[in-house]
Structure 1
Amino acid sequence: MSRFPRQPFPAFTAVFLLVACLAALASALYAQYGLGMRPCVLCVAERFPFAVAALLAALALGTARMVATRRALMWLAAVTLGLNALIAFYHVGVEQFWWESAVCAASAPPQTVADQTFDLADAMSRPIEDAPCDQPAWSFHGMTMASLNIAYSSLLALLVVLSLRRRR
Structure 2
Amino acid sequence: MNPNPFAWSFRAQFLTGALACIALLAYALFEQFQMHIEPCPKCIFQRVAFIAMGIFFIVGGLHAPRASGRRIYAILVAIAAAVGAVVAVRHLIVQFTPHDPLMEGCGPGLNYLLDAFPIAEAIKKAFMASGDCGEISWTFLGLTMPGWTLICFVLLGGGALWAGFRRRADALPARRS
TM-score, structure 2 normalization: 0.68
Aligned residues: 140
Q: Flag as ranges the 4+ runs of structure 1 deviating above 4 A.
A: 127-131
CA contact (8 A) 2:15 2:61 kept: yes
Measured in 2, the distance between the counterparts of 1:61 and 1:72 equals 12
Residue of structure 2 equivalent to 1:10:
10
CA contact (8 A) 1:61 1:70 kept: no
CA distance in 1, matches of 2:40, 2:79: 24
Letter in 2 for 1:43: C
Distance 2:27 2:104 in 1: 26
Alignment pair present for 1:146 and 2:124: no
In structure 1, C-alpha distance between the alignment counterparts of 2:63 and 2:105, rounded to whole Å:
38
Q: In the TM superposition, what whole-angstrom CA distance separates every residue of 1:106-135 from its partner, at most 9, and x where no partner exists?
A: 9xxxxxxxxxxxxxxxxxxxx899961110
Task: Give the Cα separation in 1 of the matches to 2:73 and 2:24.
Answer: 20
In structure 2, list runs of 5 or more residues that go unmatched.
1-8, 114-125, 169-177
- Give the structure 2 partner of residue 47 of structure 1: 47
Are residues 63 and 131 of structure 1, via their aligned partners in 2, closer, same or farther at CA, if it must alter by over 3 Å?
Answer: same
Q: Does 1:104 align with 2:95?
A: no
Kindly provide the amino acid, as one letter, of the partner of residue 105 in structure 1. G
- 2:27 is matched with 27
The alpha-carbon deviation at position 143 of structure 1 amounts to 1.2
SS of residue matched to 2:75: helix
Aligned in 2, Cα 1:65/1:75: closer, same or farther, shift over 3 Å? closer
* Structure 1 counterpart SS, 2:97: coil
How well do the aligned residues superpose, as a CA RMSD in angstroms?
A: 2.8
- Deviation for aligned residue 1:102: 8.7
Whole-Å separation in 2 of the counterparts to 1:18 and 1:94: 29
Is the contact made by 1:63 and 1:69 (CA closer than 8 Å) also made in structure 2? no
Segments of 5+ residues of structure 1 without an aligned counterpart are: 1-8, 107-126
TM-score when scaled to structure 1? 0.71
Q: Is the 8 A contact 2:42 2:106 kept in 1?
A: yes
